[in-house]
């Protein structure tokens, strides 16, 4: 029972961390841009999936309604589409330090093409498209690519995830070293000290038995018999 | 915007300082353990504590100890590189 709960909590933690990374780390879509526009967008309970207010594009409007730039794109299959928002990011999280939303919008408009002669681009973005919550991935960068079948290796994510794994490994090493060099000797010392105290106590008790022991034994004779 | 910048600088300073101290304690401990093991492996004789202290003083002045500054330098480089690649390149 207890192990099941423990494993359940571990899986939950792993899931949360995984979702968090999946939301935050950059991903690239190969798409064709078909439209770019601004739209006054009400922001309510889903605010956490939009830029915070003290970013460049955040302060331009009030907190509840914001003029947001959007980019519409279609995937190489010609049917499935994606809508990206194009907002500045803040200083803390997510750490993209993006301030060039206007420029990016101009680039997106520049790459906009007809379906007949498509210009394929790789849109670097983070975030999710969840219609129920009205949230959109944030486009970070647009680079032209040769064709719809181009293979993009996510070097950056490989590096970031490797660094994270390395950090976890080092944290474990540090903990093991701390336990071996500081914690275990301290516990040993405490154990030895305790043994010493106990040994001294035995000696003292034996010595005290002389006078004190006789006195308490005499006192005990005055106690009533234990009642049933 | 400026306040955001200050907040990030503060968080980074505090966080990286914690990492720096943890890593330097770890690194020092590993070095001391290595010295203790070398004392036994090489069968050295004499004042063991003085020999180990000497080794630790060499470590404090050595290259490895200085490389720990990378804990501050690398994240800052990553920060600057991110700004450059996102906004300009």
- Beta bridge partners, A84, equal A71
- All residues of chain B having their beta carbon less than 8 Å from the beta carbon of residue A103 are 87
Number of structural domains (chain B) is 1
The ipTM value here is 0.83
pLDDT digits (tens, 9 = 90+) for A54-93: 666 665 555 678 888 999 999 999 899 999 999 988 788 7
Q: How far apart are the CA of A177 and the nearest CA of chain B, in angstroms?
A: 7
H/E element, B48:
helix B48-61
* CB-based contact, B8 to chain A, within 8 Å: yes
List CB contacts (< 8 A) between B1 and chain A: 54-56, 91
**Chain B within 8 Å of A96 (Cβ-Cβ)?**
yes
Residue whose structure tokens are 């034996």? A206
To which residue do tokens 């043994």 refer? A195
Of A91, A92, A177, the CB nearest to B30: A177
A–B interface: beta-carbon pairs under 8 A: 51
Question: Which residue range is the domain that position B60 belongs to?
Answer: 2-87
Contact criterion met (CB below 8 Å) for A67 and A60: yes
Give the closest-approach CA distance of B74 to chain A in angstroms. Answer: 12
- What pLDDT digit, counting tens, does each position of A5-44 carry? 999 999 999 999 999 999 999 999 999 999 999 988 888 7
Using alpha carbons, list the distances in angstroms from residue A91 to A22, A135, B43. 20, 21, 56
* One-character DSSP codes across B6-55: HHHHHHHHHHHHHHHHHHHHHHHHHHHHHHHHHHHHTT--S-HHHHHHHH
What is the pTM assigned to this prediction? 0.76
């Amino acid at each position: 029972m207890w192990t099941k709960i423990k494993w359940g909590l571990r899986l939950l933690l792993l899931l949360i961390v995984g979702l968090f990374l999946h939301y935050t780390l950059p991903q690239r879509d190969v798409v064709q841009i078909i439209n770019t526009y601004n739209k006054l967008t009400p922001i309510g309970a889903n605010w956490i999936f939009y830029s915070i207010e003290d970013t460049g594009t955040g302060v331009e409007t009030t907190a509840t309604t914001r003029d947001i730039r959007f980019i519409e794109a279609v995937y190489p299959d010609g049917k499935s589409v994606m809508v990206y928002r194009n907002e500045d990011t803040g200083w803390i999280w997510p750490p993209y330090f993006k301030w060039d939303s206007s420029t990016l919008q101009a680039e997106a408009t520049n790459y906009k093409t007809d379906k007949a002669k498509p210009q394929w681009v790789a849109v670097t973005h983070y975030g999710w498209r969840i219609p129920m919550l009205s949230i959109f991935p944030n486009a970070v960068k647009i680079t032209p690519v040769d064709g719809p079948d181009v293979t993009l290796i996510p070097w950056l994510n490989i590096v970031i995830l490797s660094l994270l794994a390395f950090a976890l490994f080092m944290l474990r090493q540090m903990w093991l070293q701390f336990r071996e060099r500081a914690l275990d000797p301290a516990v040993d010392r405490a154990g030895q000290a305790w043994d010493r105290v106990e040994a001294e106590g035995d000696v003292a008790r034996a010595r005290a038995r002389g006078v004190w022991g006789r006195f308490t034994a005499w006192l005990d004779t005055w106690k009533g018999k234990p009642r049933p | 915007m400026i306040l955001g910048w200050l907040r990030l600088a503060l968080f980074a300073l505090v966080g990286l300082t914690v990492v720096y101290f943890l890593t330097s304690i770890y690194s020092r401990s590993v070095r001391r353990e290595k010295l203790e093991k070398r004392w036994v492996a090489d069968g050295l004789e004499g004042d063991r504590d003085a020999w180990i202290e000497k080794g630790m003083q060499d470590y404090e002045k050595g290259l490895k100890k200085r490389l720990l500054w990378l804990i501050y330098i690398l994240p800052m480089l990553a920060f600057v590189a991110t700004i450059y690649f996102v906004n300009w390149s």
